[in-house]
Structure 1
């Protein structure tokens, strides 16, 4: 089968391209720019385009499928040529569904926690040598790619994103999977450039629950009021399984999970991650992993990339980076670090980087999000605001939104870097939260400052 990727360099797109290449498909692709690690990974598999740009001549009638990424625009030259030739055009979630029609589809949805829960499930299955197909949004220890597709595996585990599928398919990705088993971890307003009201955003999860196949299963977080309400209201003929945060305690910087066999030390920490663990346990049980085997495997789970990922540690300090950017994620992650390091000075640095976080009308949602930190810093780039064509956001608006008198605000990358470099981090826990890189911060430098 010959498949061409328009915008092959995307995080999910390049992983899908590699997975199909490994499955024996003939893969080509284009993009106007490709960053690391996508660039090196595509190159390693012989899939990196010879030059960047869009080339309509690559689109020929003998292609079996076009996979269109969100990075491409509606007027993309290759897309227009594909439409002109009448080729079959898929978004990547649509193509994943085509690849998994005859499998048991397990889809993990939620505004927060879906990457971590998906990662936990895959870690447990991998530990017990249970082979499954999958798509996950973060690199995992022991896994070569973030997408794996076969003909023979019975299950496919999919991270279910609520963002749009492609420039010409405005449906949320997780609406296209039609799960046999689904999980919803939580609902907290996000992607306001697409879902301008909270009700509109919540409605996407109602549709997702109703897309579960007849007789399927819904696992849901009972502690989230919106999720609980939707789960109870759905008339879809499915089985429902609720979960709550399990009992645990923190002692000397170690989290001890309460299990039927007694307390068990685990690598991850924070109430939100323990809640994620409870959801993952239910899903694994639906996939044939019993409770004892789940606990044995989860004890060694260190977390997904950029999800409370420890990047440095020394006798004086520890540093974590986290993908947290929405208010609920920032609040939960900051609280988790303070709970784990109660006797340390927690320095929480948040970059406002996404469309939602840089929208002046949405900023008020961040009130109190950094309150658990001893020191709170917000970085944002006025240049990024202009690029995203949003209304200008001022430092005073940010200060007012977070409602914290001692909030430190930086708009210049060099000044922020200098602040970190000169800061005495003795007996501190540094938390760097961003879906970007603070205007070019080198995390290896941060490691050097902590360890020297």
Structure 2
């Protein structure tokens, strides 16, 4: 089997390429630019293209499958050549389904928390020696790749992203997976460049719930208003399981859960993570894992990369890194860190980096989301706004949108870094939140410079 990837350098694409190479397939690929870590990882497996660019002359009828990544355009010369030859062209999620259509599929969706819950389920299954395939949107401790597909694993765990499948397939990725067990964390408007209205965005989650296999299960967050509307309209053959935050205590800065008289110490914390944990527990129960086995296994879960990841810790300070960029996740993450260490001053620093967050019409969604921080910094790069072809935004407009006296806005990363370095970090915590890197910050080096 010869599989060719158009835009092999993407985070998801290069992981799938490595997974299929490891499965024994012949894998080739192309891209006009590839950056680390994709570049180094492809090179390690002998999959890095010899030269960057698009080469339609290399597309021939000896190729069995083309997998098309989102970085490519619909007028990509390799894609056009593949279509001329009537080669089978798959989107990334379509081919993932193709690989796992005979397995029991578990799909974790929702506007926030899906990477964490997927990671939790994977961690528990691995700890308990289950054999499973997976796809997750972050690097997880104990897993070499973000994707694994095998010949014999009976279960497949997918993170269900609602973003588009490919340049020629504008359906959300998670519509492809047809889960036997599904989980939805909640619906909070995102990707407004693709889903321009709230109703259009919500509709994607309704379609997803309708795609659950016959006699399947939907696990859903009880307090989400949109899921409260979706759950009652499920097909009658679908089991509905609602979850809320699991009961817990904080003892000397560590979160604990007590079950059947036994206390379990967790490495994670925060109300949203305790919701995530409870959702993962119900998913695992549907896979036959009892609560005691689940809690024993989850107690060693440290989280996914950039999901309340501890960058540096001293006796008096901790620096956390989180992916939070949507308004709901921003608010929940700040509250979690503040509640875990109420006696410490919390400095929360977030970057507006995504298309939605930099959109002038979307900015009001951030109103008062950083209120629980003692000191709040917001950063955006005007060049990124220009690159995304969005209307210019100003420091004053962003300040007004956040609507809190504790918020100070920067559009210069050097000034932001200088401000952070001038803070005396005794009895203070820093929470860095972004889907980017604040225009070039090396988080590990920066953390060591601060504390």
Q: Quote the offset at 1:153 in angstroms.
A: 0.9
Kindly indicate whether the alpha-carbon contact (under 8 Å) linking 2:161 and 2:172 is maintained by their aligned counterparts in 1.
yes
Q: 1:236 to 1:196 in 2, by over 3 A?
A: farther
Alignment deviations for residues 191-225 of structure 1 (CA, whole Å, 9 cap, x no partner): 00011111110100000000001111111111212
Partner of residue 406, structure 1: 406
Mapped to 2, the partners of 1:51 and 1:343 lie a distance apart of 55
Residue pairs, 1:100-249, within 5 angstroms: 100-235=100-235, 237-249=237-249
Mapped to 2, the partners of 1:391 and 1:259 lie a distance apart of 53
Kindly indicate whether the alpha-carbon contact (under 8 Å) linking 1:5 and 1:29 is maintained by their aligned counterparts in 2.
yes
Mapped to 2, the partners of 1:199 and 1:269 lie a distance apart of 33
Partner of residue 32, structure 1: 32
Q: Count how many residue pairs are aligned between Structure 1 and Structure 2.
A: 451
Partner of residue 390, structure 1: 390
**TM-score, L = length of structure 1:** 0.98
Mapped to 1, the partners of 2:239 and 2:426 lie a distance apart of 51
Mapped to 2, the partners of 1:211 and 1:383 lie a distance apart of 40
SS at match of 1:348: strand
Partner of residue 259, structure 2: 259
Mapped to 2, the partners of 1:98 and 1:371 lie a distance apart of 46
Q: Quote the offset at 1:52 in angstroms.
A: 1.3
Q: Quote the offset at 1:430 in angstroms.
A: 0.4
Q: 1:224 to 1:258 in 2, by over 3 A?
A: farther
Partner of residue 369, structure 1: 369
Q: Quote the offset at 1:246 in angstroms.
A: 1.1
SS at match of 1:78: helix
- Name whichever of 351-360 and 442-451 sits farther off: 442-451
Mapped to 1, the partners of 2:289 and 2:211 lie a distance apart of 25
Mapped to 1, the partners of 2:35 and 2:435 lie a distance apart of 15
Mapped to 1, the partners of 2:247 and 2:292 lie a distance apart of 17
SS at match of 2:49: coil
Q: Cα RMSD between the aligned structures?
A: 1.0
Mapped to 2, the partners of 1:307 and 1:14 lie a distance apart of 22
Kindly indicate whether the alpha-carbon contact (under 8 Å) linking 2:17 and 2:27 is maintained by their aligned counterparts in 1.
yes
Mapped to 2, the partners of 1:346 and 1:406 lie a distance apart of 11
Q: Quote the offset at 1:429 in angstroms.
A: 0.8
Q: Quote the offset at 1:262 in angstroms.
A: 4.0
Partner of residue 45, structure 2: 45
Kindly indicate whether the alpha-carbon contact (under 8 Å) linking 1:312 and 1:320 is maintained by their aligned counterparts in 2.
yes
Kindly indicate whether the alpha-carbon contact (under 8 Å) linking 1:314 and 1:450 is maintained by their aligned counterparts in 2.
no
Partner of residue 82, structure 1: 82
Mapped to 2, the partners of 1:402 and 1:259 lie a distance apart of 41
Mapped to 2, the partners of 1:43 and 1:424 lie a distance apart of 43
Mapped to 1, the partners of 2:23 and 2:341 lie a distance apart of 45
Q: Quote the offset at 1:324 in angstroms.
A: 0.5
Partner of residue 290, structure 2: 290
Residues 1:420 and 2:434 aligned together: no
Residue ranges of structure 1 left out of the alignment (5+ in a row) = none
Mapped to 2, the partners of 1:307 and 1:134 lie a distance apart of 19
Mapped to 1, the partners of 2:258 and 2:231 lie a distance apart of 27
Mapped to 2, the partners of 1:89 and 1:393 lie a distance apart of 40
Partner of residue 71, structure 1: 71
The runs of at least 4 consecutive aligned structure 1 residues that moved more than 3 Å come to none
Alignment deviations for residues 254-297 of structure 1 (CA, whole Å, 9 cap, x no partner): 11223233442210000000000000001111112111100000
- Name whichever of 254-263 and 185-194 sits farther off: 254-263
Q: Quote the offset at 1:61 in angstroms.
A: 1.1
Mapped to 2, the partners of 1:406 and 1:246 lie a distance apart of 31
Mapped to 1, the partners of 2:134 and 2:294 lie a distance apart of 19
Mapped to 2, the partners of 1:191 and 1:160 lie a distance apart of 15
Alignment deviations for residues 83-140 of structure 1 (CA, whole Å, 9 cap, x no partner): 1111100001000110011111111111011000000000001111111011011111
- Name whichever of 260-269 and 321-330 sits farther off: 260-269
Q: Quote the offset at 1:236 in angstroms.
A: 5.3
Kindly indicate whether the alpha-carbon contact (under 8 Å) linking 2:421 and 2:450 is maintained by their aligned counterparts in 1.
no
Kindly indicate whether the alpha-carbon contact (under 8 Å) linking 1:109 and 1:159 is maintained by their aligned counterparts in 2.
yes
Partner of residue 273, structure 1: 273
Q: 1:258 to 1:188 in 2, by over 3 A?
A: farther
Kindly indicate whether the alpha-carbon contact (under 8 Å) linking 1:214 and 1:236 is maintained by their aligned counterparts in 2.
no
Mapped to 2, the partners of 1:422 and 1:334 lie a distance apart of 22
Mapped to 1, the partners of 2:107 and 2:101 lie a distance apart of 13
Residue ranges of structure 2 left out of the alignment (5+ in a row) = none
Q: Quote the offset at 1:416 in angstroms.
A: 1.4
SS at match of 2:368: coil
Partner of residue 12, structure 1: 12
Kindly indicate whether the alpha-carbon contact (under 8 Å) linking 1:246 and 1:258 is maintained by their aligned counterparts in 2.
no
SS at match of 2:219: strand
Mapped to 1, the partners of 2:146 and 2:287 lie a distance apart of 20
- Name whichever of 342-351 and 418-427 sits farther off: 418-427
Alignment deviations for residues 357-407 of structure 1 (CA, whole Å, 9 cap, x no partner): 000111111011111110000000010000000011111111111101231
Partner of residue 431, structure 1: 431
Mapped to 1, the partners of 2:235 and 2:295 lie a distance apart of 34
Partner of residue 337, structure 1: 337
